[in-house]
Amino acid sequence: MKLRNQRTESARVGTHLLAGFAVTLAAVALYSGYTVWQMRGLEKLQDEIIDRNRSDSLLLLRIENDLNSLGLAMRDMLDGSEPYPLTAYQAQFRRVRGDLEDAVRREAALAPAGRDVEQGRYLTTSLRDFWDASDGLFALAANGEETKARELVRVSLDARREALTTTVSRLLVENNATEQEAAARIRAVYAGVERNVYVFAAAMAALILAAGVYVARMNRRMFAEVAALSARRSELAQQLISMQESTFQSISRELHDDFGQILTAIGTMLQRASRRMDENEPLRADLRETQQTVQDTLEKVRTLSRALHPVMIEEMGLESAIEHYLAGFRKQTGIAVEYEKTGAAHELAASAGIHVYRVMQEALTNVAKHSQSKTAWVRLRGLPDAMALEVEDAGVGFGSAPGGGMGLISMRERAELLRGRLEHENRNSGGALVRLTIPVDGRAEQGLRP
């Protein structure tokens, strides 16, 4: 049930995180779309208003410059200081007229969309009237009526030019005002984009902060649940070890007491029957062989009984039990085990000593099964406030030890039962080292775990 609740909680957390991620992506997409829309509007504003307005203003300046050229020419015509007839200015007027008509045509195509249509029409009409008047001027001059022609320049033609110049100047002022308005709109767009950046950054920071707080809270809760499960698992493992030792002790007692007594009785009966027969009786040899088989079986049962529960720990202490086990281990495996004991002696209760004994037993079993080493070292060190057990070999190390995981877990659980620490490492010179360190105080000596 608890595992199912954890999976449900994990699924809920994952759903919330995905929802938050989706909201973040949606916010980024909306903000990006809005910003792109603003930038395109800004680009359109710049292309359609500012750039076009500047091109139009350049054409208006061109028109104004041509009108000023005409004004200078008309001033020379009225001054009369040049020894040229008025018809001599006709070529200049014709050249300026071509340039003006081209500039006016181009300006009409680039005129801002917001300009009054009447202004453009007035400029075109006024310019046409000016050229009609200039044609009349040169017609009078061609007929020899220069006096009337100069009067026409003074009364009509110069006034028309001044009107055209005023109209162009007014259009330039309007273009300048339009450009200033567009610049203000651009500044407003930039200010809006900057404001949106700040708002978006603040929103993202708040969202990230909220997600971080949520994830931290969920992680704290999940870590607490994992720690609780780990503690429960450790407790169950320790209970399993205790039950295992209790079961081993019960089986060992049954083997020693029941099966051992039965085999001893059978051996005694066979011995008594053998004595009643003659020395040359063929059956007597069979009885002796059977008696030897019973004796061998009895020794195996006793060995198995001691392996299941080393009674020697209770009778003679941990150190004697270790020495006795190492003698049998050398004989069974052919591995040369060197035993070294240093430091102060600490008397542990049998319930604590059995765990130290099992750690050594499991470590040596791993040496025999996986290390491929023919030599091992067992060291028992008595420290002022602790006891250390080391098992070292010269084999292949932990990296290639198959199936050693459960053994290490069992050793670690036994170390926790004694409030100790289990370390395992590969040696630089080759081989592996397992070290068990347990504190030695009143609780350890009593075999208790706080």
Reading across the β-sheet that carries 375-382, which strands appear in turn?
A: 336-343, 375-382, 386-393, 432-439, 421-426
212 and 356 assigned to the same domain? no
Local structure of 194: helix, strand or coil: helix
In a domain, 194, yes or no: yes
pLDDT mean over 129-155: 86
pLDDT in tens, 206-242: 878 887 888 788 778 877 877 777 677 667 766 776 7
How sure is the predictor about 118, in pLDDT bands with cuts at 50, 70 and 90? confident
Q: What are phi and psi of 315, to 5 degrees?
A: -85, -40
Pick the more confident residue, 68 or 10: 68
Is beta strand 336-343 parallel, antiparallel or unpaired with respect to 386-393?
unpaired
Chain-centroid distance of CA 165 in Å reads 70
Chain-centroid distance of CA 133 in Å reads 83
CA dist., res. 318 & res. 311, Å (int): 10
Q: What is the pLDDT, as a whole number, of residue 110?
A: 80
317 and 210 assigned to the same domain? no
Whether 259 has a pLDDT exceeding 70, the answer reads no
| Residue for token pair 């949520």 | 214
In a domain, 378, yes or no: yes
Q: What is the pLDDT, as a whole number, of residue 55?
A: 83
Q: What is the pLDDT, as a whole number, of residue 403?
A: 42
Q: What is the pLDDT, as a whole number, of residue 201?
A: 81
CATH number for the domain that contains residue 345: 3.30.565.10
200 and 336 assigned to the same domain? no
CA dist., res. 104 & res. 64, Å (int): 11
In a domain, 229, yes or no: no
Q: What is the pLDDT, as a whole number, of residue 17?
A: 65
Q: Where are the alpha helices (DSSP H) in 255-349?
A: 260-275, 282-308, 311-316, 318-333
323 and 211 assigned to the same domain? no
Last residue of a domain, one of 192, 216, 240: 216
Pick the more confident residue, 405 or 22: 22
CATH number for the domain that contains residue 21: 1.20.120.1730
Whether 446 has a pLDDT exceeding 60, the answer reads no
Q: What is the pLDDT, as a whole number, of residue 450?
A: 36
Last residue of a domain, one of 181, 216, 251: 216
Q: What is the pLDDT, as a whole number, of residue 95?
A: 92
Pick the more confident residue, 427 or 48: 427
CA dist., res. 388 & res. 381, Å (int): 5
Q: What is the pLDDT, as a whole number, of residue 312?
A: 67
Whether 274 has a pLDDT exceeding 60, the answer reads yes
End-to-end CA distance of the chain: 29
What is the span of the domain harbouring residue 400? 310-445
pLDDT mean over 288-298: 77
CA dist., res. 425 & res. 14, Å (int): 38
How sure is the predictor about 65, in pLDDT bands with cuts at 50, 70 and 90? very high
In a domain, 169, yes or no: yes
Return the number of other C-beta atoms located less than 10 Å from residue 424's C-beta: 19
Is beta strand 336-343 parallel, antiparallel or unpaired with respect to 375-382?
parallel
194 and 73 assigned to the same domain? yes
Distances (CA, A) of 46 to 177, 183, 188, 238: 15, 9, 13, 79
HSE (CB half, 13 Å, CA atoms) of 106?
Answer: 18
In a domain, 187, yes or no: yes
pLDDT mean over 293-312: 70
Distances (CA, A) of 173 to 54, 71, 168: 12, 21, 9
Q: What is the pLDDT, as a whole number, of residue 112?
A: 74
Look at the chain and report how many structural domains it folds into: 2
Token digits of residue 106: 């181009």
In a domain, 72, yes or no: yes
Mean pLDDT, all residues of the chain: 78
pLDDT mean over 405-428: 81
| Residue for token pair 């091109």 | 55
Q: What is the pLDDT, as a whole number, of residue 449?
A: 39
CA dist., res. 44 & res. 166, Å (int): 31
Local structure of 426: helix, strand or coil: strand
183 and 329 assigned to the same domain? no
84 and 204 assigned to the same domain? yes
Task: Lowest mean pLDDT of 71-75, 138-142, 400-404, 405-409, name the range.
Answer: 400-404
Q: At what angle do helices 90-110 and 117-142 cross, to 10 degrees?
A: 170
Q: What is the pLDDT, as a whole number, of residue 448?
A: 39
25 and 153 assigned to the same domain? yes
pLDDT mean over 240-253: 69
In a domain, 135, yes or no: yes
In a domain, 292, yes or no: no
* Contact yes or no for 336/374 (Cβ under 8 A): yes
DSSP character string of 331-389: HHH--EEEEEEEE------HHHHHHHHHHHHHHHHHIIIII--SEEEEEEEE-SSEEEE
Whether 447 has a pLDDT exceeding 60, the answer reads no
Q: What is the pLDDT, as a whole number, of residue 258?
A: 67
Pick the more confident residue, 392 or 3: 392
Chain-centroid distance of CA 211 in Å reads 14
343 and 205 assigned to the same domain? no
